[in-house]
Amino acid sequence: MAAGSKETERLLAVPPAAFVDERKKLARELRDEGRGEEAKAVAAMKKPPPVVLAVNRAARDRPQAAKDAAGAAERLARAQLSGKPDHYRELVAEMGTASNLLGEVALANLSKGTASEAMRRRVSDHIRGALSSKDTRDLLVRGALVEEVETSGFDAFGGVPLPRAKPKPKQDSERDARREAKARQKQLQTDIRDLRRELSDAEQSVSRATLARDTLAARLEELETQLDDLKTA
């Protein structure tokens, strides 16, 4: 099975707890399609660490956040020696916002409760590591990483001394403030849209569950009435 294939990416995007069952299901489907060699390759795939699968799924669930983080990291690499510290810091903040959203979604995929600080650091380090090179950035965006990525490559960004910035004219500062406010507004709109979609999905699930409950209750009442009629006949 070629790395990055459609089947491989499908398997790498499942929740951590579902990997083994999905691997069996996918291998069976490939065998049924007459793709025996690919089925063997899928069956032999090792389960990636839960952190990797959780981040993969987060990238699938929040594709725009993954793209934003990767785009900011790519621009950050180019801006590292540009001599524009303010622009550099803006990109660090932009990448941080998108990465944090991915991290929170990944942690929710890993645990129903509160994640430990060690797990939070592990998820954060994996995402930062994945953003450190073009190849791993591409895999992150596709939700197709297979192993945890070291952060050493990205730490170089933080080690470069930034040139001292010249004081900005008031007009430039006001323009920057408006730009930051606009970026924040855009991010908030995206977060609100995502949460509204999740809320809608949850409300639909509640509606279906309520309908099923009412149907069962009505059927139970009907059967109990029939039983009472038989007892009194």
Together in a domain, 74 and 153: yes
> Do 160 and 58 share a structural domain?
yes
Same domain for 139 and 70, yes or no, is: yes
Per-residue H/E/C for the chain: CCCCCHHHHHHHCCCHHHHHHHHHHHHHHHHHCCCHHHHHHHHHCCCCCHHHHHHHHHHHHCHHHHHHHHHHHHHHHHHCCCCCHHHHHHHHHHHHHHHHHHHHHHHHHHCCCCCCHHHHHHHHHHHHHHCCCHHHHHHHHHCCCCCCCCCHHHHHHHHCCCCCCCCCCHHHHHHHHHHHHHHHHHHHHHHHHHHHHHHHHHHHHHHHHHHHHHHHHHHHHHHHHHHHHHHHC
130 in the same domain as 180: no
What does pLDDT average to over the chain? 80
pLDDT for 160 beyond 50: no
Q: Determine the pLDDT at residue 192.
A: 86
* One domain, residues 121 and 188: no
Question: Looking at residue 198, what is its pLDDT?
Answer: 79
Residues 72 and 157 grouped into a single domain = yes
pTM: 0.57
- Number of domains the chain contains: 3
Residue 69 lies in a domain: yes
- Could you tell me the pLDDT band of residue 204, with boundaries at 50, 70 and 90? confident
* pLDDT attached to residue 161: 38
Per-residue pLDDT band at 92 (split at 50, 70, 90): confident
Percent of the chain predicted with pLDDT > 90: 9
Residue 222's pLDDT band, with cuts at 50, 70 and 90, is: confident
124 and 197 together in one domain: no
For residue 1, tell me if it sits in a domain: no
42 against 79, higher pLDDT: 42
The pLDDT of residue 19 is 87
For residue 128, what are the domain limits? 53-164
233 part of a folded domain:
yes
